Amino acid sequence: MPDSNALDSTRFAALQQTPLWDFALTFYSRPGVEQACLTLQDDAGVDVCELLFHGWLYVHGLEALPESLEALRQARRDWQTGVTEVLRGLRRDLKHHDAPSETVTALRERIKQAELLAERENLQRWQTWAWDNEQPTARLRNVPVSSQDAGRWLQESVLLPQDAKMEGCGSKTRQALQHAFSVLGQQLDPLRRAR
């Protein structure tokens, strides 16, 4: 009997036809997704690019093998910390600048564009890893058909490696994070491709 979790070549081919950036733009614009992503980013330190990567895989019926993700996850976090978060910090600092001038407003807008480009580059690197044709079965597998709801699945895919962050949260913050994952799951399910 074949392994139902083994990588399905049809799902992999469909994934290769859908750029992660295109998925990210579509998904991020769905109701409640932007706020849910920002809540997870700001309150739990979740890397939104990784979150979007897992969502992209999920809608294609795929998931990354946890053991194969470790090196990539660290490289992507290093990029986020060293590039994206630096730009985000500058942009946010300028937002609270005393009496912003036209020049400060223009500078803030340019930094915002640079931050978006940094996120796009990060997503491109996640995508390249997933699309690599050399042994995709060593990186990806089918999501089990009987998997729990998408929000819970996403929470386990993204937060389990950093579960300690959830443990330190108060009950109100924990509820907000669980609500954010629930919103994301509700928005992912309609996008999930038919199997």
pLDDT digits (tens, 9 = 90+) for 15-54: 999 999 999 999 999 999 999 999 998 888 889 999 999 9
Flag whether 5 is in a domain.
no
Which pLDDT belongs to residue 1? 38
Flag whether 184 is in a domain.
yes
Residue bearing the bigger pLDDT, 150 or 13: 13
DSSP state, 8?
A: P
Query: Do 124 and 20 touch, CB atoms closer than 8 A?
Result: yes
Which pLDDT belongs to residue 168? 62
Q: How far is CA 120 from CA 84, 97, 160, 163, 189, in A?
A: 10, 27, 24, 26, 24
| Distance in angstroms (rounded) separating the CA atoms of residues 185 and 51 | 11
Contacts of 66 (CB under 8 A, 6+ apart): 160, 161
Flag whether 42 is in a domain.
yes
Q: pTM for this structure?
A: 0.86
Report the domain count for the chain: 1
Residue 164: pLDDT band by 50, 70, 90 thresholds?
very low
Flag whether 138 is in a domain.
yes
Flag whether 66 is in a domain.
yes
Nearest to 161 by CA among 20, 24, 36, 45: 45
Residue 132: pLDDT band by 50, 70, 90 thresholds?
confident
Q: Which of 15-24, 49-58, 151-160, 177-186 shows the lowest mean pLDDT across its residues?
A: 151-160
Which residue range is the domain that position 165 belongs to? 12-191
Flag whether 6 is in a domain.
no
Residue 167: pLDDT band by 50, 70, 90 thresholds?
low
Flag whether 3 is in a domain.
no
